[in-house]
Amino acid sequence: MLSEIVASVIAFSIGSNNTSNAFGVSVGCGVLSFRSALILIGLFVTLGSLTQRRVMETVGSIASLNREIVLLVLIVSAVMIVVANIKRLPVSSHQAIIGSIVGAGVATGSARLGVLASIILSWILSPAGALVLAVLIYTLLERLISELPVFSAERLLYVMLILSGILVAYNTGANELAAALAPVVSAGLLPPLEASLIGSASLFAGAALLGGRVVETVGKGITNLDPLSGFSAQLSAGLTVLAFTFLGMPVSTTYCLVGGIVGVGLLKGVRAVRVNLIKRIVSMWVMAPLLAFSASYLLTIALVR
């Protein structure tokens, strides 16, 4: 029961950080109210979690852990994610969870390093791919809407931005939440369907109660976003994460979104991007899995002795 509670806490934290992070573009552009974004989060996160299991299977195959070690992994992950929320930085829950699993796997001699290598490669490629894709989308759309009346172009962008937000919400359930639930499911503590429903409900609660904190960081903090820039960043993140989800790779919606925002910001010139904030985000991108790995490894060694 305790493992399930901790998994729910992680899902709650994803809702307060990662999901609202992704919808921060829509809210930051003024296209959606935060309340409307919450409705989309609830619907499509649940749909994504119920219809995609590939990421859950991949994360569950990183290491073979007993129930006690799984509980330890979840506690370490939860602490890392909560600290990230307090710091108001969009840190990926994937990294805390996978870093913890690998730390425990190495300590018990059950880690599958080939799977880990594929995941790390996906972490590197996904935000870079989203950045390039955002530049391409922005460039093509800028040419397209320049031929439309201003009112029509604006309405089109608003609709497309909402649709891209729906894609991000779906990916959050199919990828982010799936990774968080994988240790509980792989250890046999909960069946996949029950885990998905509990996780989706917990994630929605986190988004509703605490989601506004990180919206400002991503939606407005990295660069000033207009609807075209916001849509380009959000669609590039959504398509990138969806592609990796079909491959079964746990990648971060947060970092893909950040990559997309940086891409459109660079089109406006380097000065349009707040480099110091990017440095903080990248430093957390490196430190989070390392800290999670170290804490989980040391605690597992102490537990198994």
pLDDT at position 200 over 60: yes
pLDDT at 184 over 70: yes
- pLDDT tens digits, 45-100: 999 999 988 999 999 999 998 888 998 998 898 888 777 767 666 567 888 899 99
What angle do helix axes 113-145 and 227-246 make, rounded to 10 degrees?
150
For the chain, the structural domain boundaries read 2-304
| Distance from the Cα of residue 190 to its chain's centroid | 23
CA atoms within 13 A on the CB side of 6: 23
Average pLDDT over residues 291-305: 89
Mean pLDDT score across all residues of the chain: 84
**CB-based contacts of 44: which residues, under 8 Å, 6+ apart?**
166, 169, 170, 172, 173
Whole-number Å distance between alpha carbons of 158 and 8? 33
Please name the residue that has the structure tokens 């429903």. 197
Instruction: Give the mean pLDDT of 158-186.
Output: 89
Distance, CA of 153 to CA of 142 (rounded, Å): 10
What percentage of residues in the chain have a pLDDT greater than 90? 38
3-state secondary structure of 59: helix
Mapping DSSP to helix (H, G, I), strand (E, B) and coil, where does residue 53 land?
Answer: coil
Count of residues making up the chain: 305
For 197-215, what is the mean pLDDT? 81
Give the helix/strand (H/E) hosting 31.
Answer: none
For residues 127-155, give the mean pLDDT.
Answer: 89
Give the gyration radius of the chain's Cα atoms. 19
Tokens 């989706």 appear where? 200
* CA dist., res. 162 & res. 166, Å (int): 6
